[in-house]
Amino acid sequence: MSSFFPENYTPTMNQIQTERAIKYIKDTFERELSAGLKLSRVTSPLFVPRGSGINDDLNGVERPVRFQIGNLDNMEMEIVQSLAKWKRLALANMGLKPNSGLYTDMNAIRPDDEIDAIHSLYVDQWDWELVMSEKDRNIEFLKKIVKKIYSSLKRTEFLVSEMFPTCYPTLPDRITFIYSEDAQKEYPHLTPQQREKVLAEKFGAIFLIGIGSPLADGISQGGRAPDYDDWSTPSDPEHTGLNGDIIVWDTVRGDSLELSSMGIRVDIETLLRQLEIRKCPERAELYWHRRLLNGELPQTIGGGIGQSRLCMLLLQKAHIGEVQSSVWPQEVLNEAKRLNIPIML
């Protein structure tokens, strides 16, 4: 019996074949995503100044990796945890108009992330951001963008199956939209993670709307920082939030797999409200927040799409270490060696 891999799991590709397939997936999905959303590729930073408010605080407790630059009077920098806020600065500086945007390869280190079959300390994702009009600040526009992203995922899945016949398609034709409030009402006895698993298995692919605000039981569906996604604006009388997660059913692991976190971004009113909710109004004095409050940043929608997780899904891999080089617990390495499963180091 294996403690870290599904029973009777055997990879369908060796390591060289896997590397070829990873490049094909990344090249293909980038092309599909950029065409579907009219995104231009840009270069992004690996680190940003500490105290600028540009770095992503995630749930507010994760520690970014910090270092000093000796030749700049020991200026303190932070390795990015994501580029959620940096992208709006880039769009403002580029002067892009509504319905155009950017995407970039984001490489981050999250030292406090758990390490398991789908998490590692190294995060690689496509970070994207699209300028939108104020009139599009609604749930229907959010759903429209989700459908475009899902279409890019489906087209990539088909092309991968054509190029690599051992990789069979598993995604349903359509993605199902579900509010986190409704999921909690239907499954009040389950934890948020358990609800995601039940719903992903039932529908194959879901967009779970409303991540960040507490639900009826006082527990939120997931964590969100207060200063990028809008998770507190009522979208209708019974539902809150203009953000969500794309979650699919992973047939190899027999579990849910979150591929993307995304949403309509905070405006001035939402930023101030969410800073108060999270009891950190002092963040309004930071550089990034001042620029937003001064009306210098465009209205945007954006998110991140996991590169290694997408490769896991489309190549039917059981562990993220099969498609990504990082640091893994020795027990995982021992188990993989015994089962003859290549893990990237």
Cβ burial of 114 (10 Å; 0-12, 13-18, 19+) is exposed
CA distance 264 to 246: 14
Could you say which DSSP state residue 229 is in? Answer: B
* Residues counted in the chain: 345
CA distance 133 to 136: 5
Q: Which two tokens stand for residue 305?
A: 């799409």
Q: Among all chains, which residue has been given the structure tokens 């210098």?
A: 296
Which amino acid is located at 236 in the chain? D
Count of alpha carbons within 13 angstroms of residue 217, beta-carbon side: 16
Residue of 32, 34, 44, 56 marked catalytic:
56
267 tagged catalytic: no
182 tagged catalytic: no
CB 184 within 8 A of CB 172: no
20 tagged catalytic: no
What does 239-265 look like in DSSP terms, one character per residue? EE-SEEEEEEEETTTTEEEEEEEEEEB
16 Cβ neighbours under 8 A, 6+ residues apart: none
CA distance 104 to 99: 17
CA distance 167 to 158: 9
Residue of 232, 256, 261, 307 marked catalytic:
261
CB 296 within 8 A of CB 91: no
15 tagged catalytic: no
Residue of 105, 113, 255, 258 marked catalytic:
258
Residue of 30, 88, 110, 265 marked catalytic:
110
236 tagged catalytic: no
Could you say which DSSP state residue 93 is in? Answer: H
- The values of phi and psi at residue 204, to 5°, are 90, -40
Residue of 34, 82, 120, 125 marked catalytic:
125
113 tagged catalytic: no
Could you say which DSSP state residue 282 is in? Answer: G
Residue of 57, 129, 245, 267 marked catalytic:
245
CB 56 within 8 A of CB 224: no
Catalytic residues: 56, 110, 125, 245, 258, 261
